[in-house]
Amino acid sequence: MPYGSRLAATMNRRLGRECVYTPSARLALYLALRHWCRPGARVLMSPVTDDVILFVVLAAGLRPVQAPVSPADGNIDPAAVSEATWRGVDAVLTSNLYGIPDRVVELRARCDELGIPLIEDAAHAIGTDVAGRPIGTFGKAAAFSLSKHAAAMAGGFLAVEDAATRQELELLRDELLTPRRLHTDLTTTLRPLARSAVRSLHLVRPVWRTLQRLGLLERDAFRMALHAPRLADCAREAPSLTAYEPWVRVDLHGFRSRHGALVRGQLELRMARLDAGLARRRIGVSLLSATTWASPALHVPASAPDGPPPLFRAPLLVHDRDALIERLVHHGVVAGYVYDPPLDDYAGPEFVEPSPDPTAARWFASHVLPADPLQAREIINALTRERARPAALEQQDPQLNDRRSAPR
């Protein structure tokens, strides 16, 4: 039996696609990029995503091409991508940021027309559907993360179209896994439990401040330090996961560890509880969507059969976002998953091809407050007490109303 096949079978049943189990979504993405893109290929992607993903693309020996994005959700705006850019890319990588779906129908059609692969980063989007079809079933491959909705701090999947491709990717995965270590398995099992304990004991604020003071967080700012000269040196070795490991492993050092039965057993339990968690997320998203801070991306048509999607985070748009994030810590709310500045401003043209129009990405990245739907009530109370002001998207993008009605 291939490694992790019980977990993979569970995901296969959810999605209706063949799945490869991986210890993380980042490893799943690396496998997909290595399989479908030759070294030197150019990958169209949103600049508003986790820096780890940028380093995965670089590790695969590829050139990240930054796309114009929608200012309502930070995902690629296909209508704003120029014909010249479309003709010059070899693959498209979505991000489904915070669980809000990319315009996958349009992207898939474009990719088919150009004969290039669509790869879905579905790490934030377990449970998001587009026209009744799950995100993760539109592309050649899709990466999922159990560190997000299932809060497992380990585990992921690569979903693919057929069994033959799955088998090839299982072999590639096995070559990249590092041997199992009991110590890593124990810490991987205990970390999510420690995190829930901190939450339920209302210790978020003191623990967060202590970690910050002790320098135990891997990022001083929203982005990790780039270390440009060292990063430039690595290009000689690309494609190579090992060369880029100091960047790719940030926040998840076991991203390529062959976890044992202890970790995988815990992941199976979390997968079994996933639907209950998704239902709680829908309730939180519904509460957050009704606030004045909600991004228009949260406005679900009243006719949507399942109501709001079970997002990983609900994008709120607020004035003076950075100061607000600091103040929210006093209310026990630590807002993570902020991807600011956009990747082209963060890494520069040496490492990424800049977007021809970075305005929307800059605006979205600097105003978005990703709200955890499981903490919706605390967040709404805290924002009300802080008198947080909504950021007016219409002023930044007068054409938004036209785009809002465009199909996804």
Ligand X SMILES: Cc1ncc(COP(=O)(O)O)c(C=O)c1O
Strands (E), 327-406: 368-371
Nearer to ligand X, 26 or 166 (CB): 26
Q: How many residues bind ligand X (CB under 6 A)?
A: 16
49 lies in the site for ligand X, by CB under 6 A = yes
Q: Which of 15, 53, 107, 158 binds ligand X (CB under 6 A)?
A: 53
Q: How far, CA to CA in Å, does 304 sit from each of 124, 267, 299, 307, 406?
A: 20, 31, 10, 5, 16
Q: Smallest distance, Å, CB 57 to ligand X? A: 11
Q: Smallest distance, Å, CB 158 to ligand X? A: 11
Nearer to ligand X, 49 or 289 (CB): 49
Subset of 175-204 contacting ligand X (CB under 6 A): none
Q: Which contacts of 200-203 are long-range, i.e. CB under 8 A and separated by 24 or more positions? A: 202/332
Q: How far apart are CA 11 and CA 203, in angstroms?
A: 34
Q: How far apart are CA 60 and CA 35, in angstroms?
A: 10
25 lies in the site for ligand X, by CB under 6 A = yes
DSSP 358: -
Q: How far apart are CA 310 and CA 14, in angstroms?
A: 15
66 lies in the site for ligand X, by CB under 6 A = no
Nearer to ligand X, 94 or 375 (CB): 94
Strands 118-121 and 156-160 come out as unpaired
Q: How far apart are CA 192 and CA 197, in angstroms?
A: 9
Q: How far apart are CA 380 and CA 390, in angstroms?
A: 12
147 lies in the site for ligand X, by CB under 6 A = yes
Residue 320's contacts (CB-CB under 8 Å, 6 or more residues apart) are: 389
Q: How far apart are CA 145 and CA 125, in angstroms?
A: 9
At CA 253, angle to CA 249 and CA 255, rounded to 5? Answer: 75
- Stretch binding ligand X (CB under 6 A), from 7-15, 18-26, 286-294, 382-390: 18-26
313 lies in the site for ligand X, by CB under 6 A = no
Q: Which of 17, 26, 35, 223 binds ligand X (CB under 6 A)?
A: 26
DSSP 397: -
121 lies in the site for ligand X, by CB under 6 A = yes
102 lies in the site for ligand X, by CB under 6 A = no
259 lies in the site for ligand X, by CB under 6 A = no
Nearer to ligand X, 138 or 382 (CB): 138
328 lies in the site for ligand X, by CB under 6 A = no
Q: How far apart are CA 286 and CA 376, in angstroms?
A: 9
Specify which residues 60 forms β-bridges with: none
Q: Which of 116, 123, 231, 317 binds ligand X (CB under 6 A)?
A: 123
Q: Smallest distance, Å, CB 406 to ligand X? A: 23
Nearer to ligand X, 145 or 291 (CB): 145
Which residues are at the interface with ligand X (CB under 6 A)?
24-26, 49-50, 52-53, 95, 121, 123-124, 145, 147, 156, 252, 255
